[in-house]
Structure 1
Amino acid sequence: MSAISVERQFTGMDTLIRFETGLLAPQAHGAVVARLGETMVLATATTSKQPKDGVDFFPLTVDVEERMYAAGKIPGSFFRREGRASDQAILTCRLIDRPLRPCFPDGFRNDVHVVVTILGADLVNPHDVLSINAASAALMMSGIPFEGPIGAVRIALAADGHWIPFPTYQEGDESSFELVVAGRMTSDGSDVAVMMVEAGGTEATWQAYETKGAIPTEEVVAAGLVEAKRWIRESIELQKEMIAKATPREPMVWSPVRDYSDEIAEAVASSARDRLVQANAIADKVERANAIEAVNTQVQEELASRFEGEAGAIKAALRSLLKQVVRERIVNDGVRIDGRDTVTIRPLSAAVGLIPTAHGSGLFQRGETQVLNICTLGMPRMNQLLDTLGVDESKRYMHHYNMPPFASGEPGFMRGPKRREIGHGLLAERALLPVVPSEDEFSYALRLVSEVLSSNGSTSMASVCGSTLSLMDAGVPIKAPVGGIAMGLIYEGGKYITLTDILGAEDAFGDMDFKVAGTREFVTALQLDTKIDGIPAEVLASALKQAHTARMQIIDVIEATLPAPRSEVAATAPRIVTMQIPMDKIGEIIGPKGKNINALQLETGCDISVDDDGTVGRVVIGSRDGAMVKEVQRRIELILNPPEATLGAIYNGKVVGITKFGAFVNILPGRDGLVHISKLGRGRRVERVEDVLELNQEVNVRVDEIDPSGKLALSLVDEGSTVVEEVVTSEPRAERKPSTPSVDPSKRVSFEDSFESELAREIGDLG
């Protein structure tokens, strides 16, 4: 076996991109290894020999296998092996599928399976866009009828406004916007036609807006789509170079599957066209669907005897005819299915506070699309742990999307989220991310759930709007409200017609699904799919402007419902206080084996977490009882700034530790002292400390000595002795200076020597 490889340094990049074939997976119909830096993926393509029976769609399946060994990790699951695909893997599957699917010819119904296995992940270069290019190259090598190649690139908007191709994870995090664009060459080879776009802002987007940096306005995004073409072209050229050097499989012999004959098409058109035109003019979705179904039933009955056994073909011809009717009405009359023109949004409504026990809730409705969103606030320990090939180990903002069958008026099975639901949830999550406050500003973990209760076009963008409402209702100080709108496109006779706020049928019968979310100032998320040979960049730029107008109307409705986030979180939500502490104080707050923090949690019922970022510590205190939160905060402040012990004063303390040479007694927050065993017998010898004292026993002690390092020597006193009343405030105390002992130096040295020698002896005995 010998490998054939090609590589190229793309424009503006320091790293090479490499394609290789001929070594791995020899029995796959097409197999290509793609490499960027140390990130390496294997893409394979296989197909069945015969068309799949009984299907009226192209059966393409894309799977992405994230192997943890690629990053030198062992899976964190109980079984220590990879399980179901992660959300990121599913999103990558969708990224690959969307630009590939339109590149297969009509009538090709053979099963096609594309598998991308992540062999190496350097945790510097992402593997998702590299996988799109590798999948295209594998299909080109396979002999499967694939009208490619396609190229894909991720570009990141840098602070100075230029676009970085194939950014690293770090470059992506530092940018204010990322675009993933896929496309293929036009039929004349003069330009790149955009076929798929997936884009979103980052946590740095709002910072860029506040500092007057580069932000993703509609004009900037449109320019980015044009910029992406150069790297798409370079990927296509590199794939063609590999194909020229290698030996692709012979093109497979196949025959297109026709869903119906010309004779059936003519008969259906003659019988049904006028009735479908009339039924399609009904504005209400349910009434229109019932009328169309009635026409279909009548036509099938009328043609059943003429075309015996061809019920499926008649049904397919009717669907094709309905598509023509819908498109012709839009192109010729400028009137859509529900009677709107091309730019009008359906009626909008919004409400908040519908669920009394929820921390925040929002209902958004656009026409017959209705989404209820619920926001739940949690402690930072509720952040989602990630066990993936990416660099992120956790995330605090989670968005989940559910669409049960009743949302479209149908029965069905509910077996957990499908790829579509996961993809829609991540799209809405990406749309809100730029305006969600940072963890330093708002320490809560955030989970949003979008429940689609009624569906007729763009539930994902309705989820974005509902999320904005529920976040503000929960008192989350988001930077700005975010709205979303779905755009469609009809291409007929060389003319592009852009549709604002598409219906479900317009999505099915149209040529483009273009979703745009953002604030009043900039775009936060973008998703585009096409069913035709790409979309010219100027058409996309025009669609972005049309979407901006619609988005402003939606944000007007959101702000009229709730002008700003509520001033406080809901009464049902936990109260959280965050304290920054010095790194060297973390151990004191936690205590040996967690003794201090566990005691605080047990006594107050609060949830307390302590962590650090390498430079400063952070304590997060949470509870539904605000008074207890303040009490924990007060006690931690006492540990950070403990009051001074007074020489000769008597304190009521608690025994916190027992050793062979004495007992340690806590007399003040953060201040323990030693009662030596020689001072326990009051003149008589004590063999064991436990004969006199026990753990957690309260005793009165006198401060006999304070050495320069702050160590305290204590002695027991009678219970009737007067105890010092210490006045403790939350004001930071001055830097502690060593107290001057009121004993002569020989006694001070004797105390130090005794303490250290007894401690050393104790450690020696334990060892």
Structure 2
Amino acid sequence: MTPSPISASYTLADGREISIETGRMARQADGAVVVRMGDCMILATVVASKEPKPGQSFFPLTVDYQEKFASAGRIPGSFFKREARLNDYEILTSRLIDRALRPLFPDDYLCEVQVLVSLISSDKEVMPDAMACLAASAALAVSDVPIMEVISEVRVGRINGEFVVNPSRTQLDSADMNIIVAATETNIMMVEGEAKECDEASLLKAIQIGHDAIKQQVKLQLDLRAKLGLTTKREYIKPYTNPELEAKITEFGKEKVYNVAKAAMGKHERGDAFKAIRKEYEATFTEETALPAADAALVGRYFHDLEKDVIRKMMIEERVRLDGRKLDEVRPLTMETDVLPSPHGSSLFTRGETQSLTTVTLGTTDDELLSETAATSDYVKFILHYNFPPFSTGEVKMMRGQSRREVGHGNLAMRSLKQMMPADYPYTVRVVSDILESNGSSSMATVCAGSLALMDAGVPLPKHVSGVAMGLVAEGGKFAVLTDILGDEDHLGDMDFKVTGTRDGICGIQMDIKCDGLSMEVMMQALEQANRGRLHILDAMYKSIAEKREELKPQAPRIEQLTIDREFIGAIIGPGGKVIQEMQRETGAKINIEEVGQEGIIKIFSANKESIDKAKNWIKSIVAIPEIGETYEGTVKSVVAFGAFVEFMPGKQGLLHISEVSWKRLDTLDGVLKEGDKIKIKLVGTDPKTGKLRLSRKVLMDKPEGYVEPAPREDRGDRGDRGGDRGPRREGGPRGDRNDRPRGDRPQGGDRGPRRENNDNNNENNNQPTPEVAPAPQDNGNDDDMKL
């Protein structure tokens, strides 16, 4: 008989409900749950092997978060129409879960564990990444896989000065602080997020609010576990140990390791010295006294443990670091800008043995990055890529695309620098950081190098952003907070705490805790010490380049942005794109148009300023409104019997009647005007019926002396133009109702006398051939282009 699903739920302060259910889906996994809030549903499963692989020396945890496009009623846009490799957003969410879960497993647990988290139903207003870790932890809680504690994660946003737990997607758009906190019931485990220059006290308050919410979610998981009746975790095979061998290695190498640690050597020199101690110990064995294979495999691990123990005690008790620095001292800084001739901006930032070569490239709207999740599809115009080649650490490794670490470090640097990017900057900006040397804190070197390169490229950052990585060593109730940690200090320490910001506040934060917990007192000290380190680095950055370059590099493309009324977008594009294509062909500029609300945003892109100016003037002339009384230079487009049509602005034509060409009476324009002539005209009005524009050339000429206005013309030969100033047409038939036409004085009512027959004049007129009427101009229906 299939067991019934079991669930537990609780309600947030704003009335939203979060529920966890198990026993209905994925029942063959070691643990499986569905977490739900609104229409957002996340399925999390966990499976662990019963035994470790032979020779396994590390904990093989795999965490993958994936969003099913069907969850939002969408079909993937790839060629195969199926979900492919994880995108950056899914990788970043996977890392959030992994970094929070990994410290919860016992140190001697080496069985392979796979945690899979899938978004199976999407809600446009619910951010699934904040609930993914709750689902993963709940799946472990309802399984017998050994974990030491239950955890959860929440997002905390500050909207209009108020802190909100797990804000909606709409609320988050207006937040000035956005952080994710992971914790157990008693200890903070991980923090990551961004802010618009918040202070340290506000950050700590947000962390505390997040921890309070996490406690409720931990209780929810424990309630669900209690309903299942689970009280124990599975037994597992622990790795082989030899305490006697460990004691011998400690006795042999403790003093030697201490002397190397205290010598303030460089990274590779120190590593070689530690290896020499191990080789010296291994040389004490002969073929007869060689260690068994199982013990020989432990030698490297015990020497590593010895190095860790000696270095940590040295830092805590003697306040001495591996490279001889004080606890709050930043390594020597060297920074340069404009180091590469071709990129649009570049910098070389070196801090100790960590170095970043960073470039900035400026692009158009067409270069924006499409970022898709199941629920969203957005274009991103600020991009940062972080590359960590193996030579940066003196290693040989296969290069198989970007690692999750590279994606995570790049995202932290991007979120930090993005806080200072102007919202209306027209360029698409790509920052690339290539790590050339690495000995700790390369992501923070990327932030500093990126800020310098952006300034070098002329990007209008209002302030520099720098970053520093903090470390912590805690033991026996004592602790030491380290500024600008080395790679070894990160590896051997209890905390990696990265903080970025300006002189006025924090822009980004990433913290991972490896110990049992971190008190608010220690965290506050770490933040204050990080502030001093950040300001020290900023002082050096401002000396290198204090503000953005006034001019873009000669090789950098130029973009100018215009804002127009939305109604003009069609006129600029033209039928079938004819107008905008002609503009791009004639000017050599690239033109992008975007409709935003009631406005059109036009971006003109070219490496040639003259080309941009030409396109800009062309667009301005299209959107300009002709003003009656203004003088223009126009081009004769066509000549007809009754005048000429003149284009005096792009897309704007008017009629220059034959009577307005000259003060002299003209019967024809032959020899006076021809198609293509450039003439100056004045806009004198509009036709009251059609709205078409009326032009005059003669008003710009001196009136001849003694000029007398000609009498109205007797002949009607020019009536076919329908464009002269004839006054409003009478209603009725083509010539009006004959009964309404004036016939002079005639009796009103009564006998009006016999109707007159055609007189001689009438007969004469009737015998005349019908005058030839000139055809109306063919304006292709573009009447709107001729209206004011």
TM-score > 0.5 by shorter chain: yes
Residue number among 277, 281, 284 corresponding to 1:295 in the alignment: 277
Residue pairs, 1:479-498, within 5 angstroms: 479-498=462-481
Counterpart CA distance in 1 for 2:677 and 2:80 is 52
1:199 aligns with 2:201: no
Deviations 1:220-252 (A, max 9, x none): 112222222210101101111111223559632
Structure 1 equivalent of residue 48 of structure 2 = 47
1:725 offset after TM fit, Å?
Answer: 11
For residues 750 and 577 of structure 1, do their structure 2 counterparts lie closer, same or farther at Cα, with a shift above 3 Å needed? Answer: farther
- Matching residue's letter, 1:255: I
Percent identity (aligned): 37
CA contact (8 A) 1:352 1:362 kept: yes
1:687 matched to which residue of 2? none
Post-superposition offset of 1:671:
1.7
Q: Does 1:18 align with 2:12?
A: no
| Alignment correspondent of 2:76 | 75
Change in CA separation of 1:651 and 1:42 when aligned onto 2, cut-off 3 Å? same
Matches within 5 A, 1:255-334: 255-258=237-240, 260-283=241-264, 284-303=266-285, 305-309=289-293, 310-334=295-319
Q: Deviations over 1:383-418 (max 9, x none)?
A: 111221354511111110001001001111111110
Contact 1:116 1:135 in 2 (8 A): yes
Match of 1:670 in 2: 651
Match of 2:128 in 1: 127
Q: Secondary structure at the match of 1:130?
A: helix
Query: Where in structure 2 are the equivalents of 1:536-551 lying within 5 Å?
Result: 536-551=519-534
TM-score, with length taken from structure 2: 0.82
Q: Distance in 2 between matches of 1:665 and 1:605?
A: 27
Q: Which of the residues 435, 446, 460 maps onto 1:463?
A: 446
Alpha-carbon distance in structure 1 between the residues aligned to 2:92 and 2:205? 25
Q: Does 1:420 align with 2:405?
A: yes
Q: 1:378 aligns with which of 359, 363, 367?
A: 363
Q: Secondary structure at the match of 2:112?
A: strand
Pick closer, same or farther for the CA change 1:322–1:578 going to 2, 3 Å: same
Residues 104-137 of structure 1 deviation map (CA, whole Å, 9 limit, x = unaligned): 0111111100000011221211001100001000
Does the 8 Å contact 2:653/2:693 carry over to 1? no
- Name the structure 2 match of 1:5: 7
Q: Distance in 1 between matches of 2:7 and 2:633?
A: 83
Q: Is the 8 A contact 2:689 2:728 kept in 1?
A: no
Read off the aligned partner of 1:193 and give its amino acid letter: N
Checking the alignment, whether the CA contact within 8 Å between 2:61 and 2:112 is kept in structure 1 is yes
Alpha carbons of structure 1 residues 344 and 591: separation in structure 2 relative to 1, 3 Å: same
Residue by residue, what CA displacement relative to the aligned partner does 1:632-691 show, whole Å, maximum 9, x if unpaired? 111111001154699999963569xxxxxxx9996631225799xxxxxxxxxxxxxxxx
TM alignment of 1:9-158, pairs within 5 A: 9-10=11-12, 12-158=13-159
Q: Is 1:629 aligned to 2:605, yes or no?
A: no
Are the equivalent residues in 2 in contact too, given 1:75–1:81 (CA < 8 A)? Answer: yes
One-letter code aligned to 2:255 = D
Match of 1:746, SS state, is coil
**SS of structure 2 residue aligned to 1:253:** coil
CA distance change for structure 1 residues 746 and 370 in 2, over 3 Å: closer, same or farther? same
Partner AA of 2:93 in structure 1: T
CA distance in 2, matches of 1:650, 1:303: 100
How far, CA to CA, are the matches of 2:582 and 2:655 in structure 1? Answer: 22
* Partner secondary structure for residue 242 of structure 1: helix
The 8 Å contact of residues 246 and 302 in structure 2, kept in 1 or not, is answered as yes
State the match for 1:729 in structure 2: none
Q: 1:91 to 1:622 in 2, by over 3 A?
A: same
Which string of whole-angstrom CA distances, capped at 9 and with x for unpartnered residues, describes residues 158-177 of structure 1? 222x3110111222221111
Cα distance change of structure 1 residues 365 and 604 upon mapping to structure 2, 3 Å threshold: same
**Aligned mates of 2:732, 2:543 — CA distance in 1:** 75
Whole-Å separation in 1 of the counterparts to 2:684 and 2:733? 13
Change (3 A) 1:354 1:263: same
Which residue does 1:515 correspond to in 2? 498
Aligned letter for 1:593?
Answer: G
1:340 equivalent in structure 2 = 325
Q: TM-score, normalised by structure 1?
A: 0.85
Distance 1:710 1:425, change over 3 A: farther
Distance in 2 separating the partners of 1:759 and 1:634: 26
Moved more, 170-179 or 446-455: 170-179
* Pairing 1:351–2:321 present: no
Aligned residues: 691
Secondary structure class of the residue paired with 1:469: helix
Distance in 2 (CA, whole Å) between partners of 1:52 and 1:747 is: 101
CA contact (8 A) 2:123 2:375 kept: no
Structure 2 CA distance for aligned equivalents of residues 154 and 650 of structure 1: 62
Q: Structure 1 412/757 Cα, relative in aligned 2: closer, same or farther at 3 Å?
A: closer
SS in 2 for 1:745: coil
* Pair 1:486–1:13, CA change in 2 (3 A): same
Q: Would the aligned equivalents of 1:353 and 1:473 in 2 still touch at CA under 8 Å?
A: yes
For 2:276 and 2:365, locate their aligned partners in 1 and report how far apart those are by CA, in whole Å.
Answer: 55
Shift in CA distance, 230/665, structure 1 to aligned 2, threshold 3 Å: same
Distance 2:693 2:455 in 1: 56
1:229 and 2:231 matched: no
Return closer, same or farther for 1:364/1:747 CA change in 2, 3 Å cut-off.
farther
Structure 2: segments with no counterpart, 5+ residues = 639-643, 657-674, 702-721, 737-774, 782-788
Deviations 1:260-295 (A, max 9, x none): 411221121122222222222232222211211211
Counterparts of 2:381 and 2:558, CA distance in 1: 17
SS of 2:283 mapped into structure 1: helix
Find the residue that maps to 2:85 and give its secondary structure.
Answer: coil
On the 8 A contact 2:353/2:439 being kept in 1, the answer is: yes
Q: What is the CA-CA distance between 1:741 and the residue it aligns to?
A: 5.8
Note the alpha carbon deviations across 1:30-89, whole angstroms, 9 max, x for none: 011111221111010001121123332110000011111122222122322222111111
Are the equivalent residues in 1 in contact too, given 2:410–2:443 (CA < 8 A)? Answer: yes
Q: 2:589 aligns with which of 589, 592, 606?
A: 606
Q: Distance in 2 between matches of 1:653 and 1:642?
A: 20
1:444 and 2:444 matched:
no
Question: Secondary structure at the residue paired with 1:44?
Answer: strand
Q: What residue number does 1:252 align with? A: 234
CA distance in 2 between partners of 1:648 and 1:338 (Å): 77
What letter is aligned with 2:599? V
Residue 569 of structure 2: aligned partner: 586
2:370 & 2:516 partners in 1: Cα distance?
A: 41
Q: Is the 1:707–1:748 Cα contact (8 Å) retained in structure 2?
A: no
Distance 1:219 1:632, change over 3 A: same
What is the one-letter code of the residue matched to 2:305?
A: S
**Deviation larger for 262-271 or 115-124:** 262-271
Give the CA deviation at 1:332: 1.7
Deviation at 1:297, TM superposition (A): 1.8
Q: Indicate the SS of the match to 1:393.
A: strand
Deviation at 1:494, TM superposition (A): 1.6
CA distance in 2, matches of 1:316, 1:563: 49
- For residue 487 of structure 1, report the CA deviation from its aligned partner: 0.5
Give, in angstroms, the shift of residue 157 of structure 1: 1.6
- Residues 414-466 of structure 1, C-alpha deviation per residue, up to 9 Å, x if partnerless? 1111000000000000111111111x2x2111110111000001100110000
Q: Is the 8 A contact 1:300 1:311 kept in 2?
A: no
Deviations 1:457-477 (A, max 9, x none): 110011000011001111111
Q: Specify the structure having the higher radius of gyration (Cα).
A: 2
Question: Is it true that 1:217 corresponds to 2:217 in the alignment?
Answer: no
Cα distance 1:713–1:26, how it changes in 2: closer, same or farther (>3 A)? same
Q: Among residues 201, 226, 238, which one is paired with 2:220 in the alignment?
A: 238
Give the Cα separation in 2 of the matches to 1:631 and 1:750: 50
Aligned to 2:179: 179
Residues 664 and 77 from structure 1, CA distance in 2 versus in 1: closer, same or farther, beyond 3 angstroms?
A: farther
Q: Write the letter of the residue equivalent to 1:280.
A: A
